[in-house]
Amino acid sequence: MKFRFHDKTIEAQPGDTVAAALYRSGQRIFSRSFKYHRPRGLLCVSGKCPNCLMNVDGIPNVRTCITPVHEGLRVKAQNAYPSLETDFLSVTQRFDWLMPVGWYYKTFTRPAMWHAVEPAIRKVAGLGEILPSGPREYEHAWMHAHTVVIGGGWAGMQAALAAAERGEQVVLIDDQVALGGQACYRKRMGPRPDAIIARIRAAANIRLLQNSYCFGLYEGNLLGVLQRAPHPGASERLIHLRAQQTVVASGAYEAPIVFPNNDLVGVMLSTGVLRLLHLHRVQAGKRAVVVGKSLQAGEVAEELRDGGIEIVAIVDPDTILKATGSSTVNGIQTRTGHFSCDLVVICGPRIPDNGFVAQAGGRIEWSEPQGAFLPTLPPSNVSAVGDASGEAVANTIAPLPTSKRAFVCLCSDVTSADLCDAVAEGFNHIETLKRYTTATMGPCQGRMCQLSAIGVCARETGRSIGETGMTTSRPPNPGVSLGALAGPKHHPLRRTPMHYAHQDLGVVWLDMGDWQRPRYYTDHLAASEEERVLLEYRAVREAAGLIDVSTLGKLDVRGADSGKLLDKVYTHRFSDLPPGRVRYALMCDEGGIILDDGTVSRISEDRYFVTTTSGNLDFVQQWLEWQICATGWDVHITNVTAGYGAMNLAGPKSRDTLRKLTECDLSSGSFPYMACREAKIKGIPAILLRIGFVGETGWEIHCPAESAEGLWRAILGAGHEFGVRPFGVATQRLLRLEKRHVIVGVDTDALTNPYEADMAWAVKLDKKEFIGKTLLAHAAKDRSRERLVGFVLQSPGVPEDGAAVVVDGQPAGRVTSARYSPAQLAAVGLAWVKTSLAQDGVFIDLRVNGELLKAKVTMKPFYDPEGVRLRQ
């Protein structure tokens, strides 16, 4: 297998990670540090530190030490220019005296100063950059399990097998290259647990998620899991995993020891060296100094010797003065002498990885004998096992010398001297110390530095480690890419039954929530929206137009108590509505505030057909269901929105058009305005409502969805000789505005009552009881609030929706809708004004394009004010 590292081709062996292959090829520097651009090499080799972050296939900040190689991968270093080996910005470390801890806050105290340096700082700050790359697919998935085990080491595998034997559904999550945890790279753990791994793989009720990591344990035992490369078609999959029991078996990881130059390339954690050796057959160096307490260090030294690495010395951390070397380590200076070497192996403290227990609400407390923070009192559905629980962990805390070259936090180059300075400046609480210095806040999320930072804080403040305490563990940790959180690109779409007929007609779509609705139609692209809308407008006013209104919410309400329910939720009366009639319906809440409007048609004695606005259907249905909760009323509400295609044919020629397709008598004598009938059109069963949102003779036709496209085409065909055209929402908005019809949610807001909206006629206060009655009766007498009025602009121009109303130089309201009206030959619209101005003939000023223009208030429709046309 081969892959590219900049312009080099690197050979990889099967099972290699990117970092292992690079190391074998001789690469030693893997990154440049965040602040000082110091060279950094592999440290933990387990995905827990910031040192091996690179750009892999265009993705920044990838931990190369746990990224398996595949053919053709493109790998690049980041945060280094021109190269890892020579990084110009490494001069910054010479000026570290200029950049003490908190230097941002201290230096750029004036905005002008910050503005001057911001561009330069932006350029060098941050980690990695996003390179253009091929399209990337992210997936989401959901899983459910009885028991989830985080960590595929010895303890995790045992826990998974035990749960499986109890018959539970188990999910085992492992983020390492191979199952088995330490046993894969520590000889003292005995032979590789191949038998157990085989049993895990064979168990039918264990689901194994490899190459996956858990990034958070959330409320309700919800685990966020990220699976890398789940299949060739996807780069990442985010799994929402619900468990009843979570077993935290994430083990313990090793942390560095603090001494001057402890960040030199070639200073590695013992577990990192052993991983390279046993997992990848790579010797991290030839001559090694092992740093650690006698027993632990002795074991490591022996294993390394077996692996062919010469051990120069075993050094107690207490005696170390510093590591030597300029970029790569060349030796260790102790109190007794200097030891030359090309590798320093750190046997650091082992930190139980138990952040998940804390996230689940468990307490984490310091245990002096074990030298570790351990979970106490975990919640009943979470447990920690193995090293994560602290069993078999026994750390001696190494000294923490104060030095400007002893790095505590590798992610943001915070030294022990920096921490001491910060404590001296008063940041003596571990949480404020963290925020001020940014220690524990980098890509490693405190894994490498937390214990040392707490140690320094404790020493400097004269408190114990237990008193100093830990910073709070919060998900996500490790981080998750935004693409994975966002998930697949699928966006749900709601299509009306006439969707493809619109497409054939050259539709321009309008997105309304998930719905796609025709905005207007165009047969040649050169025409502007205004021109097309005018054409459609003229068709409706002079011949007839057909609009798809399938998005209207439609509810079938049946049962003996239906009238009673409708009387309760709407302000009008419906129990007395005769079959075959339609009535406008306005819905208010207990506060008398308008919720929705629509129509109610009585199809038969015990069956009503209710329409709602497109966006409020769910709300209205839920509102209706809520009102009948526990009442025992005989009402059955069914949402039939998707079952009916609906279209509105309107205009003087609509009767002539429809007559060609139906035997139903359409004359105003037998089918008057506000009547409804069930009839067949072109053989298709339909519900016809004689209503007129746009102010012309017209019918709203509802028919079974599967027949709707056919009916749509048939009506356009029949109307062709009269000049019937399809029209879209843009035209409908103009037509309705000329009739001064209010759109709930556009012209009204969350505080509008019907009196303010000039719709007193829709409220029947003499009705015995209905929702909102008390406060509506109150509002009917209240003249202090605003009113919604119509206006005609007195000069050319069209105010924008939301434009200000100005009276005597003061803002006095706002425009909610405005359009140029071909009927008035001027802009017309609706606006909120003080009640005193709500009279015919009053003049108000509107701000249009920065100018104040006069407009005349009217309380009547702008078109056919008497409503003659609609009743014809």
Residues contributing to the site for ligand FES (CB under 6 A)? 19, 42-45, 47-49, 51-52, 63, 65
641 contact choice in ligand FES, other proteins, none (CB below 5 to 8 Å, kind-dependent): other proteins
Q: Which does 139 bind (CB under 5 to 8 A by kind): other proteins, ligand FES, none?
A: other proteins
CA 67 to chain centre: 26
Site residue total, other proteins (CB under 8 A): 59
Which CB atom, from 41 or from 193, has the smaller least distance to ligand FES? 41
Residue 55: CB partners within 8 Å, gap ≥ 6?
Answer: 61, 62, 75, 76, 77, 78, 128, 129, 131
Q: What is the token pair recorded at 185?
A: 């790279």
Tell me whether residue 61 or residue 748 sits nearer to other proteins (CB atom): 748
Which residue lies nearer to ligand FES by CB, 411 or 763? 411
Among 262, 333, 496, 748, binds other proteins (CB under 8 A): 496
CA distances from 664 to 101, 329, 578, 686 (A): 85, 96, 19, 11
Instruction: Find the binder of other proteins among 1, 127, 143, 229 (CB under 8 A).
Output: 143
In this structure, how many other beta carbons lie within 10 angstroms of the beta carbon of residue 62?
21
Q: Taking a C-beta distance cutoff of 8 angstroms, is the pair 406, 96 a contact?
A: no
Binding mask 712-751 for other proteins (x = CB under 8 A): ----------------------------------------
Smallest CA-to-CA distance from 568 within 633, 481, 489 is with 633
8 A C-beta contact, residue 620 and residue 553: yes
Binding map of other proteins across residues 72-101, x = CB under 8 A, - = no contact: ------------------------------
Q: Please state the closest distance from residue 561 (CB atom) to other proteins, in A.
A: 12
Rounded least distance, CB 514 to other proteins, Å: 8
**Quick one: 54 or 157, whose CB is closer to ligand FES?**
54
Determine how β-strand 138-150 pairs with β-strand 234-248.
parallel
Give the shortest CB-176-to-other proteins separation in angstroms.
Answer: 24
Locate 144 and state its tokens.
């459910």
Positive or negative, the CA dihedral 81, 84, 89, 91 is negative
Amino acid identity for residue 445 in this structure: Q
Which of 198, 642, 746, 751: binder of other proteins (CB under 8 A)?
642
Please, what is the minimum distance in Å from the beta carbon of residue 110 to other proteins? Answer: 41
Least Å from the CB of residue 250 to ligand FES: 15
Backbone angles phi, psi at 430, to 5 degrees: -60, -35
- Strand pairing class (607-612; 553-558): antiparallel
For other proteins, the binding residue among 95, 97, 105, 626 (CB under 8 A) is 626
* Beta carbon nearer to ligand FES, 212 or 707: 212
Q: Is the peptide bond before 82 cis (omega within 30 degrees of 0)?
A: yes
**Closer of 251 and 790 to ligand FES (Cβ):** 251
Classify the C-alpha dihedral 520-526-530-533 as positive or negative.
negative
Of residues 560-599, those binding other proteins (CB under 8 A):
589-591
For residue 222, the partner it binds in ligand FES, other proteins, none, with Cβ less than 5 to 8 A by kind, is other proteins
Residue 327 or residue 340: which is nearer to ligand FES going by CB? 327
Bridge-based pairing of strands 636-639 and 843-848 is: unpaired
**Alpha carbon distance 196, 207 (integer Å):** 15
Closest-approach residue to ligand FES (CB)? 65
- Of residues 765-824, which lie at the interface with other proteins (CB under 8 A)? 769, 773-775, 777-778
Q: Indicate the SS3 state at residue 31.
A: strand
> Any contact of residue 625 with other proteins (CB under 8 A)?
yes
Which residue lies nearer to ligand FES by CB, 52 or 385?
A: 52
**Smallest gap from residue 438 Cβ to other proteins (A):** 28
Nearest approach in angstroms of CB 429 to ligand FES is: 29
Identify any residues that bridge with 637 across adjacent strands, giving them in sequence order.
557
Closest contact distance (angstroms) between CB of 483 and other proteins is: 16
Tell me if 757 sits within 8 A of 816, measured CB to CB.
Answer: no
Is 307 a binder of other proteins (CB under 8 A)? no
Chosen from ligand FES, other proteins, none, partner binding at 492 (C-beta under 5 to 8 Å by type): other proteins
Omega before 685 within 30 of 0, i.e. cis: no
Strands (E), 363-437: 363-367, 372-376, 382-384, 407-409, 414-415
Residues of span 181-220 touching other proteins by CB under 8 A: 218-220
Q: Find all residues with CB under 8 Å of 501, minimum gap 6, and list them.
A: 709, 712, 713
Q: What is the Cα Rg of the chain in Å? A: 37
Phi-psi domain of 469 (left: phi exceeds 0; alpha: psi -120 through 50; beta: other)? left
**Closest distance of CB 14 from other proteins, Å:** 24
Nearest CB to ligand FES, comparing residues 22 and 217 = 22
Q: Which residue has the tokens 């312009």?
A: 7
Residue from the set 26, 82, 111, 632 that interacts with other proteins by CB under 8 A: 632
Q: Which residues contact 110 (CB under 8 A, 6 or more apart)?
A: none
Q: How far is the CB of 385 from ligand FES (least distance, A)?
A: 24
**DSSP string for residues in 154-208:** HHHHHHHHHHHHTT--EEEE--SSSTTGGGGT-GGG-S--HHHHHHHHH-TTEEE
> Of 618 and 665, which CB lies nearer to other proteins in the complex structure?
618
- The answer to whether residue 514 forms part of the interface with other proteins (CB under 8 A) is yes
CB of 212 to ligand FES, least distance (A): 17
The site partner of 625 among other proteins, ligand FES, none (C-beta below 5 to 8 Å per kind) is other proteins
When CB distances are held under 5 to 8 angstroms depending on the partner's kind, the choice from ligand FES, other proteins, none that residue 42 binds is ligand FES
Residue 492: what residue type? P
Cβ pair 192, 152 in contact under 8 A:
no
Using CB under 8 A, which residues numbered 242 to 271 contact other proteins? 242
Q: Which is nearer to ligand FES, 3 or 832 (CB)?
A: 3
**Stretch of residues binding other proteins (CB under 8 A), selected from 177-185, 492-500, 541-549, 851-859:** 492-500
Which is closer to ligand FES, CB of 44 or CB of 84? Answer: 44
- For 576, the 3-state DSSP assignment is coil
User: Judged by CB, which is closer to ligand FES: 42, or 451?
Assistant: 42
590 binds, among other proteins, ligand FES, none (CB under 5 to 8 A by kind): other proteins
Q: How far is the CB of 443 from ligand FES (least distance, A)?
A: 9
Binding residues for other proteins restricted to 592-621, rule: CB under 8 A: 618
SS (H, E, C) 318-344: HHEEEEECCCECCEEEECCCEEECCEE
How many CA atoms, within 13 angstroms, populate the side-chain half-sphere of residue 645?
Answer: 24
Q: To the nearest whole angstrom, how small is the minimum distance from the Cβ of residue 169 to other proteins?
A: 7
Q: Does 504 bind other proteins (CB under 8 A)?
A: no
Least distance CB 43 / ligand FES (angstroms): 5
Please select the residue that binds other proteins; options are 706, 749, 840, 851, rule is CB under 8 A: 706
The reply on whether position 169 binds other proteins by CB under 8 A is yes
Per DSSP, the residues of 128-142 read --PPP-S---EEEEE
Measured over the CA atoms of residue 740, residue 743, residue 744 and residue 747, the dihedral's sign is negative
**Binding stretches for other proteins (CB under 8 A):** 139-144, 169, 218-220, 222, 230-234, 240, 242, 488, 490, 492-497, 514-515, 550, 556, 558-559, 589-591, 618, 622, 625-626, 629-630, 632, 636, 638-644, 704-706, 769, 773-775, 777-778
